[in-house]
């Protein structure tokens, strides 16, 4: 081999080595540059045990958040975990040297315990008129029943005295032939109450109901018009909106009146003398001993523990009982009366009434008779109890208006 050949071989080897060295140097330089650019300045929140870092808003050119240690949250701050599917887990090296395409994005939660740099006003307290309507939605049917009353709803902006409300349209409402019932929502007790003229109550929620039927018959179209106009005037005065039902009120009233006619019964048991008249003083003594009270209506009435009338005792003749008249009054007959739709547990009360009538008959030397002055037998009394008390009251219960309930007392008044 000549010296020229050896020189060329040596020159080629030197060139190869140089190129290889140059490539290695370029690789080293680019690796260092990449590490300087992409190397994270904190321990990975998923792998390391070091302190957790708070997130800073991402730079516009990057999709991942950057982190810095001077914004570390409190040690007890919660960091949401990130779950990775085990079948597609990212190699550990990729977490340590993330790239634009493969690095997982870790979102740190806001540091809720750190005070804000901007003063924030405390939340406004919830006003009563901001409370959910559900708090006042359960209007008891004992106060107002949409089946029995034409109900107008009003929501007031500011609390208004119940006394002012009751007096507002009083003169107009006195022209009505049917009762008007008022209910307001007590924001302290969180309950609906019947409005009374002597009750010191301020309210924002108001319900007013015109009774559709009583024992005088159904409401008239004229009464409905007067009531609706009065409620609109009241709403204007209170700066409220009057929400009135749009149903056919007259048809509803007629239907209720037909129902009432089928169950509106009064059962009377007559006690007549066999010869001598009954002395008023003796009648009063027997009635008071039985727990009956003489009222201004001229009747001795027995009440239950809740103050509801059970049955009454009246003069069979035309003269009414009064505190003065019973001292000198004499009569040849008495009548025990039970108002079927207004008495709870009517069959039981009827048995109590007939037992008391028998005691009166024994003491006064009289006898129990029907309206034709024919003696009443046990079988007849039992038939009256079942057919004229038990069945009508069962019908009322089926209709959802139990005898003796608050609704029944309004309806049969």
First-to-final CA distance of the chain: 140
Q: Are 287 and 244 in contact (CB under 8 A)?
A: no
CA–CA separation, 78 and 65 (whole Å): 18
pLDDT the model gives residue 122 = 44
Beta bridge partners of 292: 302
pLDDT confidence of 120, banded at 50, 70, 90? Answer: very low
Lowest mean pLDDT among 26-30, 103-107, 180-184: 103-107
Topology (CATH level 3) of domain 133-260: Cell Division Protein Zipa; Chain: A, (3.30.1400)
Lowest mean pLDDT among 44-58, 221-235, 328-342: 44-58
pLDDT averaged over every residue in the chain: 80
264-411, which class in CATH?
Answer: alpha beta
Whether the model pTM is above 0.75: no
pLDDT the model gives residue 26 = 63
pLDDT the model gives residue 31 = 59
Beta strand 266-273 pairing with 366-369: antiparallel
Lowest mean pLDDT among 96-110, 163-177, 216-230, 320-334: 96-110
Tokens 């939340």 correspond to 123
Would you kindly state where each structural domain of the chain is located, as residue ranges? 1-38, 40-80+89-107, 133-260, 264-411
pLDDT the model gives residue 49 = 47
> What pLDDT digit, counting tens, does each position of 241-292 carry?
899 987 789 999 999 999 999 999 999 999 999 989 999 999 999 999 999 9
User: How far lies 398's CA from each of 252, 267, 391, in Å?
Assistant: 18, 21, 11
Task: Identify which has the larger pLDDT, 232 or 94.
Answer: 232
Residues 6+ apart with CB under 8 A from 180: 173, 208, 209, 210, 211, 227
Average pLDDT, integer, range 390-410: 96
**Residue 230: pLDDT over 80:** yes
């Amino acid at each position: 081999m000549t010296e020229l050949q050896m020189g060329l071989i040596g020159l080629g080897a030197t060139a190869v080595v140089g190129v290889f060295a140059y490539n290695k140097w370029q690789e080293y330089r680019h690796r260092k540059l990449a590490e300087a650019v992409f190397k994270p300045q904190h321990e990975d929140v998923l792998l390391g045990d070091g302190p957790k870092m708070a997130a800073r808003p991402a730079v516009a050119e990057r999709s991942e958040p950057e982190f810095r240690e001077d914004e570390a949250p409190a040690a007890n701050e919660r960091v949401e975990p990130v779950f990775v599917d085990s079948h597609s887990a990212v190699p550990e090296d990729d977490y340590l040297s993330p790239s634009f395409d493969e690095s997982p994005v870790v979102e740190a939660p806001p540091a809720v315990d750190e005070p804000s740099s901007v003063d924030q006003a405390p939340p406004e307290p919830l006003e009563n008129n901001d409370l959910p309507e559900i708090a006042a939605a359960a209007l008891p049917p004992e106060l107002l029943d949409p089946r029995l009353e034409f109900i107008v709803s009003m929501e007031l902006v500011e609390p208004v005295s119940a006394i002012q409300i009751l007096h507002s349209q009083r003169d107009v409402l006195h022209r009505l032939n049917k009762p008007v019932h008022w209910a307001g929502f007590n924001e302290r007790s969180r309950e609906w109450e019947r409005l009374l003229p002597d009750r010191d109550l301020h309210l924002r929620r108001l319900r007013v109901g015109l009774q559709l039927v009583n024992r005088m018959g159904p409401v008239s179209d004229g009464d409905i018009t007067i009531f609706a106009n009065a409620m609109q005037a009241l709403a204007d005065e209170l700066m409220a909106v009057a929400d009135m039902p749009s149903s056919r009120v007259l048809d509803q009233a007629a239907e209720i009146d037909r129902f009432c006619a089928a169950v509106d019964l009064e059962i009377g048991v007559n006690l007549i003398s066999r010869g001598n008249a009954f002395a008023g003083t003796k009648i009063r003594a027997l009635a008071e001993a039985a727990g009956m009270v003489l009222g201004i209506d001229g009747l001795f009435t027995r009440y239950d523990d809740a103050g509801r009338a059970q049955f009454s005792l009246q003069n069979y003749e035309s003269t009414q009982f009064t505190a003065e008249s019973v001292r000198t009054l004499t009569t040849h007959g008495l009548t025990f009366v039970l108002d079927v739709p207004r008495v709870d547990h009517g069959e039981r009360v009827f048995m109590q009434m007939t037992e008391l009538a028998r005691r009166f008959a024994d003491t006064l030397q009289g006898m129990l008779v029907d309206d034709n002055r024919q003696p009443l037998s046990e079988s007849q009394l039992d038939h009256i109890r079942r057919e004229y008390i038990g069945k009508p009251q069962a019908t009322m219960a089926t209709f959802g208006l139990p005898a003796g309930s608050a609704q029944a007392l309004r309806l049969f008044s």
